[in-house]
């Protein structure tokens, strides 16, 4: 496997993607105060972050508008309420879940939108629907990425086929996603190599989105980066579902490009993240997440255990054996 870059210089292909509102919104049903989102937007600009993901483009037929904050839906006027015309170098991203987005209704032409990148999230068995959305968004003028979720439970031959389909599509970035936080660094390197080989063949770039069940989100992100990934997802203090994500403050400490600055991130964390935590919003590493990560299963039972403050860790672990 070929290593890219080194510990002294930096690679200009690297892009940092802040997913705090999108993955963090899974913790609080997207009920963020505008002040939080505005300060995050400003912190990202100052920190040199390349993309800020504002949330999902969720179907209003499938999800009740009043049960979620604005960022579950990311209406154009809501994003513009924060960013205006986004007169900055920070690009705006949203996520669109296959089967949960009315893309032909809710995704307007890029010429009318402040959004730059649409990230299509899909399970591997939904690839045809994902490709349809990717081509639609591409034709509407957007940058696109495809995030294939839960690959730690997928067959390798299926991953190979999905990557070939994406290689031949209009997608710009193919994301390696460790949905269950179950992959070890050496597995991340193998998968990165697999993704990168297809990406190089077809002129695409790859990205990495990691979860922190085994406290490996940062390690896996920088390992994937070292072996090729250009798009690196992080969130402020790792805010995200369950064990959360790769922490932006860690990424900023690691990256060598002088455009990246850790101080605006630390200032945002000390002001806005500590406030959220003081208010009782909970995410981050805990033993039940380690258990689901080790066993490579969805974290939903760990989220429930964490909410109930269930500390019968051994019984919880044993209970997972029958749920696989």
Radius of gyration for the chain, computed over Cα atoms and rounded to the nearest angstrom: 19
Count of positions on this chain that bind a second copy (CB under 8 A): 42
DSSP string for residues in 200-241: HHHT-EEEEE-B-TTS-HHHHHHHHHHTT--EEEEBGGG-SS
CA angle, 124 as apex, 120 and 129 as ends, to 5°?
55
Residue 318 makes contact with a second copy by CB under 8 A = yes
Residue 141 makes contact with a second copy by CB under 8 A = no
Closest C-alpha to 188, from 47, 171, 196: 196
Residue 63 makes contact with a second copy by CB under 8 A = no
Least separation in angstroms between residue 320's CB and a second copy is 12
Q: For a second copy, what does the binding mask look like between residues 295 and 314, x meaning CB under 8 A?
A: ----------------xxxx
Comparing CB distances to a second copy, the nearer of 9 and 77 is: 9
How far from each other are the two terminal CA atoms of the chain, in whole angstroms? 33
For the packed helices 287-295 and 313-320, what is the interaxial angle rounded to 10 degrees?
Answer: 20
Q: How many CA atoms lie within 13 A of 116 on its CB side?
A: 16
Residue 294 makes contact with a second copy by CB under 8 A = yes
Least separation in angstroms between residue 190's CB and a second copy is 9
Least separation in angstroms between residue 295's CB and a second copy is 9
Residue in 13, 109, 270, 300 binding a second copy, rule: CB under 8 A: 270
Least separation in angstroms between residue 215's CB and a second copy is 5
Residue 263 makes contact with a second copy by CB under 8 A = yes
Comparing CB distances to a second copy, the nearer of 116 and 223 is: 223
Residue 152 makes contact with a second copy by CB under 8 A = no
For 180, the enclosing helix (H) or strand (E) is: none
Strand partners, 15: 231
Which 226-255 residues touch a second copy, going by CB under 8 A?
A: 226, 237, 247, 249-250, 253-254
Least separation in angstroms between residue 53's CB and a second copy is 22
Strand partners, 16: 232
Max CA-CA distance within the chain?
A: 55
Comparing CB distances to a second copy, the nearer of 127 and 222 is: 222
Comparing CB distances to a second copy, the nearer of 31 and 285 is: 285
Residue 11 makes contact with a second copy by CB under 8 A = no
DSSP string for residues in 107-173: ---GGG-S--EEEEEE-GGGHHHHHHHHHHHHHTT-EEEEEE--GGGS-HHHHHHHHHHHHTSS-SE
Beta strands in 214-317 (DSSP E): 231-234
Q: Which among 85-93, 101-109, 191-199, 222-230 is the span making contact with a second copy, rule CB under 8 A?
A: 222-230
Pairing mode of beta strands 205-209, 143-148? unpaired
Which 165-184 residues touch a second copy, going by CB under 8 A?
A: 184
Residue 290 makes contact with a second copy by CB under 8 A = yes
Length of the chain: 324
Burial of 270 (0-12, 13-18, 19+ CB in 10 A): exposed
Residue 187 makes contact with a second copy by CB under 8 A = yes
Least separation in angstroms between residue 142's CB and a second copy is 34
Q: Give, as one character, the DSSP assignment of residue 284.
A: S
Site for a second copy, rule CB under 8 A: 3, 7, 184-187, 212, 214-220, 222-223, 226, 237, 247, 249-250, 253-254, 262-263, 266-267, 269-270, 274, 285, 287, 290-291, 293-294, 311-314, 317-318
């Amino acid at each position: 496997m070929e290593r890219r870059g080194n510990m002294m210089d930096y690679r200009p292909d690297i892009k940092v993607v802040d997913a705090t509102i999108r993955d963090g919104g899974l913790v609080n049903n997207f009920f963020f105060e505008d002040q939080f989102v505005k300060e995050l937007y400003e912190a990202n600009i100052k920190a040199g972050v390349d993309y800020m993901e504002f949330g999902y483009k969720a179907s209003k037929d499938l999800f009740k508008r009043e049960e979620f904050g604005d960022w579950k839906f990311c209406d154009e006027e809501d994003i513009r309420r924060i960013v205006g015309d986004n007169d900055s170098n920070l690009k705006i991203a949203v996520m669109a879940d296959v089967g949960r987005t009315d893309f032909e209704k809710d995704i307007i032409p890029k010429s009318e939108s402040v959004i730059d990148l649409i990230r299509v999230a899909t399970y591997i068995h939904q690839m045809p629907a994902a490709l349809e959305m990717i081509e639609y968004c591409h034709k509407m003028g957007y940058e696109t990425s495809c995030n294939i979720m839960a690959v730690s439970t997928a067959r390798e031959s299926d991953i190979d086929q999905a990557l070939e389909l994406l290689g031949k599509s209009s997608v710009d970035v193919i994301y390696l996603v460790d949905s269950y936080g179950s992959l070890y660094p050496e597995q991340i390197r193998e998968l990165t190599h697999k993704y990168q080989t297809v990406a190089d063949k077809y002129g695409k770039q790859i990205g990495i989105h990691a979860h922190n069940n085994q406290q490996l989100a940062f390690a896996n992100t920088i390992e994937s980066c070292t072996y090729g990934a250009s798009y690196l997802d992080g969130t402020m203090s790792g805010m995200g579902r369950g064990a959360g994500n790769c922490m932006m403050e860690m990424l900023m400490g690691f990256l060598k490009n002088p455009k990246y600055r850790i101080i605006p991130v630390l200032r945002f964390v000390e002001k806005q993240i500590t406030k959220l935590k003081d208010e009782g919003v909970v995410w981050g590493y805990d033993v039940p997440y380690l258990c689901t990560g080790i066993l490579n299963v969805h974290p939903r039972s760990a989220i429930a255990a964490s909410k109930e403050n269930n500390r019968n860790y051994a019984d919880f672990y044993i209970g997972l054996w029958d749920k696989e």
